Chain A
Amino acid sequence: MRIPTVAALLSLVVILDGRSSGSGVQFSDVTQASGITFRHAASKTSVKFLPETMGGGVAVFDADGDGRLDLFFTNGAAIDESTSSNRPPDKSNPRYWNRLYRNLGGWKFEDITERAKVAGTRYDFGVAAADYDNDGDIDLHVSGFGGNTLFRNEGNGTFTDVTAAAGAEVSGWSSSAAFVDYDHDGRLDLFVGRYLAWTWESNIVCMAADGATRAYCHPRHFSPVSNVLLRNNGNGTFSDVSDATGIARHPGKALGVAIHDYDRDGFIDLFVANDSMQQFLFRNTGAATFREVGLTAGLAYDDDGRSFAGMGIDVEDYDNDGWPDVFVATLSLERYALYRATGDGRFEYVSHAAGIGRATLQHAGWGTKFVDFDNDGRRDLFIAQSHVLDTVSRSRQGFDYLQPPLMLRNLGSSFTDVSASLGPVFARPAAGRGAAFADLDNDGDMDIVVANLDGPPVLLRNDGGNADHWLSVKLRGTRSNRQGIGAVVTVVDDRNRTQSGICSTSSSYQSASDPRVHFGLADAAKVRRIEVRWPSGITQVLTDVATNQVLEIIESASKPQ
């Protein structure tokens, strides 16, 4: 064995400077001038009911079909120390309503909640958005405590609660959800992640580390619950296929949900970020069933086999090798988890090697996405942050409840923290929870909306991210579901650089993003080849496409290859 000398060890000291430039891009907080007056209301109590700290989500979607992306925010409800199953949360006061804002253009929004009839009735958390009935307008699923709501878009600016009529009722506490066509029949099914077995009556007294302050309880005090998969029957109704598909066999504590075809077998798989237990990867067998393979795929734990608090999640190919990778935002001291696909249906934990571990030791993250904010052709990582315990700084010196958002710039095989260079909002501590992503002003760069807990949301306009070239791919399915959700788009630019992305609205935390697949193309003047692998099995190829445009691709009538 070689024994290092002290002198040799001295050479090991690494002075780390985690901050570097972010390509001149600035994110401007345009909330105040936008007309958005929504303020999330957690209705915090002295007894620290667990729902109070989970926050809400945000959906970016075109509610009225005018071509502009509108915003929907979920909200809590009035609760107090005496809230119980018999005295449930009260959402009647408008301050607790969910809110829908219509995009008027020019970063101006108008509250259309009442007219649209989407105020809700429960203490709500998550939102999923997609055209589940293939009628050309985007519907909403809202997750809540004690039930969920499926809002069908009537196409006239209003929504109808069709939960019961559609057989889409989900009991308990649901968090993130995903519209996904798991059986490839051209209709979007609905996967609903459920958090844990908690009731107003089962709330217990938990104390902070100082022994004197009451705190939110650790999820280990409550049992896991199974997730729910609802199959779209094609006639406006759903059937619960959780048992038949194997989903119900794996109780978890779901907070984040994402979809992707991780093994490129043509079938969409489901990723579930679980809180303080193993993470789930439901592999689609192609026979309308799922196998939970998180452990054997190397995704269940960190590199030592330890579980962590999985909260927000995204699945995309960050290293442009053609295989989707996985990011999970976690709690302080756990380090955010980055898993790189190894190309054989497995993943390796690369948080340390990629610099993520070093940059995120004391952070706690929720809403997140691989998003190429500077169009340099590499997907970066955005994370909305905040500790889960609002008492943490009182009991643990050096820990902050409110934390500014984080942007980790992709350098190829590693990431570096560029938050400080992106504008004052990245220095402003907040209780970030949900986050959704879209090019809200269609100027070629990705904007961000963050839903803060017990406070106003933040609209982050990307200024300067479009200095490099880009392409935004909008899909319209014909055999596949109308939005092409689940399709994988691969582009090869004129410099022979290849990127791929999934068409999905679901990832992050309790939020829904724009399904257009955005590619930053750096200095490429042209896209040489675009390949779309539709959920129907059809592969469609386009060649020689101009950059700097939103390109709509309609699914061809070709037979599946």
Chain B
Amino acid sequence: MTLRLVLVVLTLGQDCQQAQKLARTAYDERRYDQAAAHFAHAVTACGASSPLLLALGQAQLLAQRPADAIAALDRVPTDSAEYVPALKVKAKALYLLARDAEAEETLKRAATRAPSDAEIPYSLGRMYYQQGRHAEAAASFRQATTLDPRDYKAWDNLGLASEALGDVAQAQQHYLKAISLVYKDHPGYDVVYANFADLLIKLGNFQRAFDLAAEAAQRNPGEPRNFFLGGKALLQTGRSDLSVRWFEQAIKLNPDYPEPQYQLSLAYRKLGRIDEADRMLKSFQAAAARAPKERR
């Protein structure tokens, strides 16, 4: 009887370690469905520790299973070190489920527990921004930059929020601050260059906008928006022939992206390629019809 118990414990122990190893590997390889399954198994085999529940919740969220993630994260004890991180992940899951008020309340609870954590006001800001609550978004991003002055994403988003509030001068200052932080230290961060390019297009500064979009594209050649903005700036400067290549690259990277297809039809028309313009308009209409009405 005792021997059998020992064998069971040993087997469970091996099973626990194996499940965690498989889960970590799958997670690192972005196979989130499998990672979630292995973490769930690990929770059974190892016991429902806070780190495992947090890892399970994270994997489930990334596997697009927000309801399961919330269930796992709710099991994290309030007195554990993982409680605040669990709240942050849970808020994202709630937001994905369009339970905005609960997500906001969850983040505020996390902020009470960890008032110096810059990621919390940043996440709140992102949520407010998506909801169109731009003044609140700006306040949250500003708080994040106060807590962590080197938080380039917060500066970038503060630029976006300022722009949405109509303060383009402030927006430019914030984008520049973010660029000064990522210029050398974060060579893979492209978003602020694209955001700034977008603003400069709206302000009619097309050559500068193109320079920024080109930098964004160099930093992240897999992001179609970077090529879309580059093409749009080129088109506005009268270089329709060059813009075509940029729009085509954006469409190649994401054939369901409607905006570059619309702009490409304009470029074709300016070049007198009317048949191609008409075909691209039809393609744009189809892509626009497929596009989700709301993104979260």
Residues of A within 8 A of B (CB): 1-4, 6, 9-10, 12-16, 209-212, 220, 295-296, 298, 301, 303-306, 333, 346, 352-353, 357-358, 361-362, 395-399
Contact = CB atoms under 8 A, between A and B. Distances in A.
12 contacts: A4-B208, A12-B200, A295-B285, A304-B259, A305-B261, A333-B132, A352-B203, A353-B204, A358-B203, A395-B133, A398-B134, A398-B135
Contacts of B134: 396-398
Interface string B129-157: 00111111000000000000000000000
B202 interface: yes
Interface of B: 100-101, 131-136, 164-166, 168-169, 172-173, 176, 179-180, 183, 196, 200-205, 208, 211-212, 214-215, 217-218, 232, 236, 258-259, 261-263, 266, 269, 278, 281, 284-285, 288, 293
Contacts of A209: 100, 131-133
B200 A361 contact: no
Given A2-B214, A3-B211, A352 B201 contact: yes
A209 B259 CA distance: 27
A1 B212 CA distance: 10
A37 B204 CA distance: 46
A13 B211 contact: no
B130 to A, nearest CB: 10
A212 B202 CA distance: 35
Given A6-B180, A398-B134, A361 B281 contact: no
A297 to B, nearest CB: 11
Nearest to B166: A361
B240 to A, nearest CB: 12
Contacts of A353: 204, 236
Label chain B's interface by main secondary structure: helix
B133 A4 contact: no
B214 to A, nearest CB: 4
Contacts of B212: 4, 9
A304 B179 contact: no
Contacts of B164: 333, 361
Contact of B262 (A301, A395, A399): A301
A339 B5 CA distance: 80
A362 B203 CA distance: 16
Contacts of B211: 2-4
B165 A398 contact: yes
B215 A12 contact: no
Nearest to A395: B133
A357 B176 CA distance: 22
A21 to B, nearest CB: 21
In the A-B complex, the 5 residue pairs with the smallest Cβ-Cβ separation, listed nearest first, are A305-B262, A398-B135, A397-B135, A1-B214, A211-B101
B259 A306 contact: yes
A346 B183 contact: no
Given A210-B101, A211-B101, A220-B293, A12 B208 contact: yes
A16 B285 contact: no
Given A346-B269, A358-B203, 15 more contacts: A1-B217, A4-B215, A6-B183, A9-B212, A10-B176, A13-B169, A220-B293, A295-B285, A304-B232, A305-B261, A352-B201, A352-B204, A353-B204, A361-B166, A397-B136
A3 B278 CA distance: 35
Given A10-B176, A16-B168, A396 B133 contact: yes
Given A362-B165, A397-B135, A304 B176 contact: no
Nearest to B202: A352
Nearest to B132: A396
Contacts of A12: 172, 176, 200, 205, 208
A353 B233 CA distance: 12
Contacts of B214: 1-3
A305 B260 CA distance: 9
Nearest to A349: B266
Nearest to B177: A6
B263 A304 contact: yes
Contacts of B135: 397-398
Nearest to B171: A13
A398 to B, nearest CB: 4
A275 to B, nearest CB: 15
A305 B263 contact: yes
A362 B166 CA distance: 7
